[in-house]
Structure 1
Amino acid sequence: MAAKLTLTTFLTLDGVMQAPGAPEEDTRDGFAYGGWQVPLVDEDMGKYMSEVFGRSAAFLLGRRTYDIFAAYWPEVTDPDDPIAGRLNALPKYVVSTTLREPKWRNTTVVATDVPAEIARIKERTGDGELQIHGSGDLARSLMAHDLIDEYNILVHPVVLGRGRRLFPDGGLPTAFEQTASRTTARGISIHTYRPAGRARFGSFALDA
């Protein structure tokens, strides 16, 4: 049985996913609002993220997210930490054409034929989840091929007005089935969706 490919990502109310964790995390396009998530993190969100990582069997990351994680999580050495313990121990696959010698252990670089290689990774991983965290460029490229099996979207009660978004203009019109939802004490709405085919359309026009 192949692993399920899941995406977990943090969004603002206006769909921005850029640089949630720190001002210097991602300043592309002059983005000056990095760290927007930090004031909204609470115990409920931490519990949810521990649940997500508890289902992980391997990780698939874009280069930018990989570099951020690799600079932080190896320094968290407590093996009982529910996030660091999984990230440091489990296989990690990073999609990059420039990374040559990754220093974070259990890292494999995926440089070519990405959709086909991900299919092979899912088969090798077996039970559990092959998890994408953040990694907006990678997520958008996989969405264009209908490769993501499940989305965990954490919508934060803040609007920024600019920044890179998860769902791009020109993306595939896709319907989703909601399979779970909850809200944290500080108002983060957490939704789990599974793709349900192409979007459908209708009309409220009155019958003649």
Structure 2
Amino acid sequence: MASRLVVSTFLSLDGVMQAPGGPGEDDAGGFPHGGWLAPYVDEGFGRIMGGQFDRADAMLLGRRSYDILAAHWPGVPDEEGGALINNMRKYVATRSPMTAEWRNTEVLAGEAARTVADLKARTDGEIIVQGSSDLLRTLQSAELVDEYRLLVAPVVLGQGKRLFAEGAAPAGLRLTESTTTEAGVAYLTYAWTGRPTYGSVA
């Protein structure tokens, strides 16, 4: 028994993942570009995201991303994707105990490297990680991420939280799927292959 942990995230061309959904979503660090993804969300984008959630058995979130999603989805059960997300099993990784009121949510209190490793070991299927940039640093360092599904928009932001920030854990990746939407979003899927390998091009 073991689950696969899949990171699904929206990125700018320079790797920023902060506040794609709208202004005020995450203003940390004075980030002024909230909502940068909106111009690139088209039918093809929707199909990709729908397919990802159809394949997922559960969702893992950090505390901040949980608060953002839990404030929206329970109130719009009839919105496209609402029933699927509200009914899906959800886990929230947090250092401090909390009460989760969103239906089908289990709190993983403690150090995420330990609690998420335990979650992967005791469950089956696919766990999708949405947002949660701070949590991702821990998952990357602990080598818990099995796959990255990146939707890269044709925009450069110049600042903000990045998926692979300075000091990110080195990792080897293998491209397994790629496509592009009409709006120019590149969808890239990478499988984790372990530590990087090195050589010379000379």
Q: TM-score range, shorter-chain basis?
A: over 0.9
Residue of structure 2 aligned with 1:117, choices 103, 115, 118: 115
Query: Within 5 Å, which residues of 2 pair with 1:81-100?
Result: 81=80, 83-98=81-96, 100=98
Between the aligned partners of 2:159 and 2:111, the Cα distance in structure 1 is 32
Q: Using the alignment, how far apart are the partners of 2:87 and 2:198 within structure 1?
A: 45
Does 1:195 find its partner at 2:192?
yes
Q: How do 1:123-134 residues align onto structure 2 when only pairs under 5 Å count?
A: 123-126=121-124, 128-134=125-131
How far does residue 113 in structure 1 lie from its aligned partner after superposition?
3.8
* Aligned 8 A contact 1:58 1:125 in 2: no
8 Å Cα contact 1:58/1:90 also seen in 2: yes
- Give the counterpart letter for 2:43 in structure 1: E
Secondary structure of residue in 2 paired with 1:172: coil
What does residue 32 of structure 2 align with? 32
Identify unmatched segments of 5+ residues in structure 2. none
Amino acid across the alignment from 1:175:
G
Quick check: 2:112–2:139 contact (8 Å CA) kept in 1? no
2:175 matches 1:148? no
Distance 2:116 2:95 in 1: 15
1:185 and 2:182 are equivalent in the alignment: yes
* SS of equivalent to 1:168: coil
Distance across 2 between alignment mates of 1:112 and 1:22:
30
What value does the CA root-mean-square deviation take over the aligned residues?
1.5
Counterpart CA distance in 1 for 2:180 and 2:76 is: 28
Which ranges of structure 1 fall in alignment gaps of 5 or more residues?
none
Give the count of matched residue pairs. 202
Q: In the aligned structure 1, how far is the partner of 2:82 from the partner of 2:119?
A: 22
For 1:48 and 1:195, the matched residues in 2 are separated by: 20
What percentage of aligned pairs have identical amino acids? 48
Q: Distance in 2 between matches of 1:114 and 1:166?
A: 17
Q: Residue 137 of structure 1: SS of its match in structure 2?
A: helix
TM-score (norm 2): 0.94
Q: TM-score, structure 1 length as denominator? A: 0.91
Q: Which has the larger radius of gyration?
A: 1
Q: Give, in whole Å, the separation in 2 of the partners of 1:129 and 1:104.
A: 20
